[in-house]
């Protein structure tokens, strides 16, 4: 064996030894970081909620507490809350609350807390239905209610465990509608600006 061949063999042996000891290697794989669970960092997640975008001024989209992008009507005047806490938040912001799942003086009842009756909700013709959220999941007694309510009006989730972020999200949802006339209490005639809102047609079938 020539000296040159012996030198090449020694060089290869040293390189194999370095790779075996985990120092370096031409094909060393880098471990990709594990994707972060957004529920473990509520502060970072909150920066993504409450955002309202517009496409050509014709369509508004709201990012709610579950991370879903929910299309909105041009104006949000009539709201329904699925429990008393959500209702209290909306009333504190001057929202036009027309119904609540729970017991709230002066507000039409649409069922027990976290379990609204879709038929009662539809009868009030809401623009938006606001639902509580826990760990980015709708806080309802039955998950199937999300789909049933979504057939009536857009469903927006808000996380009440973060009061400041929840209030900011609802302000973004309401936009410039807080100065508009409020919806009348039950039993009173609708004003002209609400008489033009079409009533829902067809039966409401909870799923």
> Does residue 32 lie within any of the structural domains?
no
pLDDT of residue 107: 95
pTM score above 0.75: no
The total number of residues shown for the chain amounts to 207
> Does residue 148 lie within any of the structural domains?
yes
Task: Give yes or no for a contact between 150 and 159, defined as CB atoms under 8 angstroms apart.
Answer: no
> Does residue 59 lie within any of the structural domains?
no
> Does residue 187 lie within any of the structural domains?
no
From the CB of residue 13, how many other CB atoms can be counted at a distance below 10 Å?
Answer: 10
Question: Per-residue pLDDT tens for 173-184?
Answer: 887 444 444 455
pLDDT tens track, the chain, 207 positions: 555 555 555 555 665 555 555 554 444 444 444 544 444 443 333 444 555 555 544 568 899 999 999 999 888 999 999 999 999 999 999 999 999 999 888 999 999 999 999 999 999 999 999 999 999 999 999 999 999 999 999 999 999 999 999 999 999 888 744 444 445 555 555 544 444 444 444 454 554
> Does residue 145 lie within any of the structural domains?
yes
pLDDT of residue 14: 64
pLDDT of residue 75: 87
> Does residue 71 lie within any of the structural domains?
yes
- CATH assignment of the domain containing 159: 3.40.50.1980
> Does residue 152 lie within any of the structural domains?
yes
Q: Could you please report the per-residue DSSP string of 88-125?
A: HHHHHTT--EEEESS--TTSEE-SSTT---HHHHHHT-
Q: Which residues span the domain enclosing 149?
A: 65-178
pLDDT of residue 43: 36
CA 129, 134, 138, 142 torsion-angle sign: negative
From the CB of residue 193, how many other CB atoms can be counted at a distance below 10 Å?
Answer: 12
Total domains present in the chain = 1
> Does residue 42 lie within any of the structural domains?
no
């Amino acid at each position: 064996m020539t000296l040159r061949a012996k030198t090449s063999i020694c060089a290869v042996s040293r390189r194999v030894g370095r790779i075996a000891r985990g120092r370096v290697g031409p094909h060393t794989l880098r471990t990709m970081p594990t994707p972060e669970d957004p529920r473990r960092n509520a502060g970072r997640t909150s920066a993504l909620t409450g955002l309202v975008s517009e496409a050509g001024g014709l369509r508004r989209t709201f990012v709610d507490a579950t991370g879903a992008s929910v299309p909105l009507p041009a104006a949000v005047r009539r709201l329904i809350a699925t429990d008393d806490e959500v209702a209290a938040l909306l009333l504190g912001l001057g929202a036009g609350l027309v119904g609540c799942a729970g017991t709230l003086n002066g507000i039409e009842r649409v069922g027990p807390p976290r379990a609204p009756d879709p038929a009662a909700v539809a009868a009030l013709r809401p623009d938006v239905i606001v639902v509580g959220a826990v760990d980015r999941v709708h806080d309802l007694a039955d998950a199937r209610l999300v789909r049933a309510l979504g057939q009536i009006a857009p469903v927006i989730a808000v996380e009440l465990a973060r009061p400041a972020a929840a209030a900011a999200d609802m302000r973004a949802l309401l936009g410039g509608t807080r100065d508009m006339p409020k919806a009348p209490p039950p039993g009173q005639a609708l004003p002209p600006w609400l008489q033009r809102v079409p009533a829902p047609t067809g039966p409401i079938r909870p799923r």
